[in-house]
Amino acid sequence: MNQNDDDKLDSMLRLRRSQAASPDLAARIILKTQGVPQIQRFRLWQSLRQLFIELHLPKPGYVLAAALVLGMFLGFSTVPQGSSTTDSHSLNAQSFLTDDEGLL
Amino acid sequence: MAVAWPEKDDHELLALVQDGSHPAFAELVQRHTERFYRLAFRYLQNKEAAEDVVQDALVKLWEDPGKWQAEKNTKFTTWFYRVVVNLCLDYRKRKRPVQLNDEMALIDERETADQAMMRREEQAALEQEIAALPERQRTALNLCFDEGVSNQEAADIMGMNLKALQSLLMRAKTTLKERMKSYL
């Protein structure tokens, strides 16, 4: 097989006969589908996307919500230093009262 | 405000079609009918049959746009070429091969009557030999010699890698060169 044969075959393949479509083919298809009902499928991803669209908040809303969540997280994860002191104070007060009752 | 349909890409249009937008579907049809028809014609070599196949494919897309899944990262045209190819194969199975029509041959006005006749003969022989190729070789040829379809896209349409496609093309062309010897 020589290069000429390859080239000739390639050009024959490129020049294969063709016939243009009817000019109104696209219009016919569009017309045919007018009024044809679509099959509705339940798609999880699309439903979730729709749900997020429905629940869409403006950007400041997200910032506020994120700040609140962060604040709650920090609040729960940090043990307040004063709490044990307060407890020990209340314990002292109770023991003082008990002592007083003892005197009586 | 009027929607600028031509500015929307295929995926945006398909998302709208899935939401029931007929104007978006109309834009897709206007945009791609010609190229899908060209491919179908290459397969079927008959204008009416090719138009029927393309119409059928696009009507099915409208009826059930959920078949298209954007998440699969495939171009719409790649996916739809596959749909059209499958419908063409079904069509060929159902109906007997269409006879070639001499009037449809390409005619160059500078050619003499003899030259034109020879060209018609050559084209008819070529179509006959292409039709006799194994299905996958024929699909590879039809896709790769159709304008606008790169080898990589053709490989994607056929669900194979580029090397496998090139090998199919090579085999198809070797067979054709052998069988078309007298015309080369």
- Does B99 score more than 70 pLDDT? no
Using an 8 Å CB-CB cutoff, list chain B residues near A18: 38, 41-42, 106
For residue A38, the Cα-to-chain-centroid distance in whole angstroms is 27
Chain segment B112-170, per-residue pLDDT in tens: 778 778 888 888 899 889 989 999 999 999 898 876 688 999 999 999 999 999 999 99
Portion of chain A with pLDDT greater than 70, in percent: 69
- Does A26 score more than 60 pLDDT? yes
Partner residue opposite B104 with nearest CB, options A6, A17, A30? A17
Work out the mean pLDDT of chain B and round it to a whole number: 86
Rounded to two decimals, the ipTM of the complex is: 0.81
Q: Which residues of A10-24 are buried (b: 16+ CB within 10 A; e: fewer)?
A: eebbeebbbbebeee
Mean pLDDT throughout A76-82? 72
DSSP A37: P
B172 in contact with A at a CB cutoff of 8 Å?
A: no
* Chain B interface test: which of A17, A22, A24 (most B C-beta within 10 Å): A17
For residue B25, the Cα-to-chain-centroid distance in whole angstroms is 20
> B61 burial class (0-12, 13-18, 19+ CB within 10 angstroms)?
buried
Could you give the C-alpha distances from B57 to A28, A58, B36, B53, in angstroms and in order?
13, 42, 10, 6
Q: Phi and psi of B16, rounded to 5°?
A: -70, -40
A35 in contact with B at a CB cutoff of 8 Å?
A: no
Q: Taking CB atoms and an 8 Å cut-off, how many pairs form between chains A and B? A: 99
* Under 8 Å between Cβ of B14 and B70: yes
Using an 8 Å CB-CB cutoff, list chain A residues near B65: 38
Using an 8 Å CB-CB cutoff, list chain A residues near B141: 13
Chain segment B22-56, per-residue pLDDT in tens: 999 999 999 999 999 999 998 888 999 999 999 99
CA–CA distance, B159 with A40 (Å, rounded to integer): 28
How confident is the model at residue A69, as a pLDDT?
95
- Answer left, alpha or beta for residue B159, where phi above 0 means left and psi between -120 and 50 means alpha: left
Whether B22 sits inside 8 A of A34 (CB atoms) is yes
How confident is the model at residue A85, as a pLDDT?
54
* Chain A interface test: which of B173, B175, B179 (most A C-beta within 10 Å): B173
Q: Say which residue, A20 or A18, is predicted with more confidence.
A: A20
Portion of chain B with pLDDT greater than 70, in percent: 88
Could you give the C-alpha distances from A82 to A87, A88, A93, in angstroms and in order?
9, 10, 17
Taking residue B35's Cβ as centre, other Cβ atoms within 10 Å add up to: 18
Q: B23: which 2 tokens?
A: 């104007």
Whether B29 sits inside 8 A of A26 (CB atoms) is yes
Q: Kindly indicate the confidence band of residue B102, based on its pLDDT and cuts at 50, 70 and 90.
A: very low
Chain segment A28-61, per-residue pLDDT in tens: 999 999 988 888 766 677 677 777 777 777 788 8
How confident is the model at residue B53, as a pLDDT?
96
**Domains of chain B, each with CATH number or no CATH:** 9-99 (1.10.1740.10), 101-184 (1.10.10)
CA–CA distance, B4 with B12 (Å, rounded to integer): 12
Whether B42 sits inside 8 A of A46 (CB atoms) is no
CA–CA distance, B168 with A58 (Å, rounded to integer): 55
Using an 8 Å CB-CB cutoff, list chain A residues near B59: 29, 32-33, 36
